[in-house]
Amino acid sequence: MKVSERSKYFFNPNLMDPYKLNSNVVVVKLNGKDVFCDPGTPFTPFGMLTWSETGVKGLRLDKDGGSWIETPIPQSSASQIARTAKLTLSETGDLEGKLTITFTGIEALERRLQERNEDEADRKKFLEDEARQYTPAAIEVELTNKPDWNSSASALNAEYKLKIPGWVAGAGRRALLPVGIFSATEKNVFEHTERVHPIYFEYTSEKLDDVSISLPLGWQVSSLPSAQDKDSKVVRYVLKAENDKNTVHLNRQLSIDLLMLDSKYYPALRNFFQLVRTGDEEQVVLQPIGARASNQ
């Protein structure tokens, strides 16, 4: 099947310009269903396409010449950045522990392609920088595993030793723990009120955070932010904070299930991301055990 990559063109068959059919994908009939594959791009798993080949019109060649069909758009859950952290809070307000980031689908493929011709030192720096850009504070991070860069099938797993100095701030008798530990990439998006051009997401994707934080001895949770679920169908933000035996559990989900949005919907999208940022700024209130729980 000849397709036109939307990284370069928004293809219109009526223009009859064969040069814009610049890429090839293979359609496999499997149990009566079409499965789209890209064997020409390294690391592309069976049944997956690169982002620029998804959601595009293409000419499926057959003995009668061919017919126009459209390649599928995967759901956001097919391309995830899942961040799992098991951290301990120190008396001085530092968070320290293990972070695992798992990239799946297009998120894994894109990174493998980007680092395809690089060496181990560069790939290590690349993944450490990736972790740095997620956190809205200075961090100390070191990659501790050797991710499988050459696989076509599996997720890309990166494991780190992580320290976030001074993440928890003191406020008199209390301490405040911000919940948006991996929220930096959403911090400055869509900051301007006016928008002229449509908003173009290259592919659908999802960020999933699962963070557990053990509190230091003698401290307890005084107050947790209320759970949030902002579901606008094509974008969704979920935040949940729980306390279990002096361990704070934070779950965050940000799903983007859209590719192109007309600028007239920009205010709604901007408003959604403002709500995301507001949620990410919520704080868990901690206080010493035995202190009077003034907010109960």
Enumerate binding residues for other proteins (CB under 8 A). 93, 117-119, 121-122, 125, 132, 137-140, 142, 165-166, 169-174, 176, 178, 187-188, 191-194, 222-223, 225, 274-275, 277-278, 280-283, 285, 294-296
Would you say 23 or 222 has its CB closer to other proteins? Answer: 222
- Residue closer to other proteins by CB (options 14, 295) is 295
C-alpha closest to that of 234 among 207, 254, 209: 254
Give the nearest distance from C-beta 144 to other proteins in angstroms: 13
CA distance 205 to 254: 8
Contact between 38 and 47 (Cβ < 8 Å): no
8-state DSSP, 14:
G
CB of 71 to other proteins, least distance (A): 27
For helices 120-134 and 105-114, angle between their N-to-C axes, nearest 10 degrees: 130
Min separation Cβ 143 and other proteins, Å: 11
Residue indicated by tokens 């599996």 = 154
Q: Measured from the CB of residue 174, what is the shortest distance to other proteins in angstroms?
A: 6
Other C-beta atoms lying within 10 Å of the C-beta of residue 33: 7
Straight-line distance from the first to the last Cα atom of the chain, in angstroms, rounded to the nearest whole number: 64
By beta-carbon proximity to other proteins, the closer residue of 2 and 270 is 270
- Work out how close the CB of 212 gets to other proteins at its nearest, in angstroms, rounded to a whole number: 20
Nearer to other proteins, 64 or 194 (CB): 194
